[in-house]
Amino acid sequence: METTFKYLISIIFLTLVIKGTCYNCPLNTLQIAQTKFGPPIQGKPQWRVSITNNCNCVQSQILLSCKGFQTALSIDPLILKIQGDTCLLYNGHVLAYNNTDAFSYAWDTAYPFAPVSSISSPPCNSEK
């Protein structure tokens, strides 16, 4: 019984240590940039949105604010899935440290996308 208890305590301790190697990435570690590019679509300029993960841990399930977002260009819901006032980026896939996801849309003005939430987890880049 005592041995079982020691193993259980060891497993709990290791779980906490491993989980503690990665922290919750602040939302400001998701850098969003937009630029105009390409020919107009239905008379509206095209915008290229790039989201870069500047956290040393991977982030997934990235939600962006998109209340009132409109586009003249169809966007694949696997790339940007509108869910009420938020949009899920790339079906929630993992965005590693220093990697960028991007998508395009067309509208009169740039939409002010902002990160709402994400889930951060290992692996974490220790070279940051």
pLDDT digits (tens, 9 = 90+) for 56-91: 999 999 999 999 999 999 999 999 999 999 999 999
Report the predicted TM-score, pTM, of the whole model to 2 decimal places. 0.78
Q: 88 vs 125, which has greater pLDDT?
A: 88
pLDDT digits (tens, 9 = 90+) for 14-61: 344 444 455 689 999 999 999 999 999 999 999 999 999 999 999 999
Phi, psi of 75 (to 5 degrees): -115, 125
Looking at domain 25-123, its CATH architecture is: Sandwich (2.60)
Contacts with 63 (C-beta within 8 Å, 6 or more apart), sequence order: 83, 86, 87, 88, 89, 115, 116, 117, 118
User: Which of the four pLDDT bands, split at 50, 70 and 90, describes residue 121?
Assistant: confident
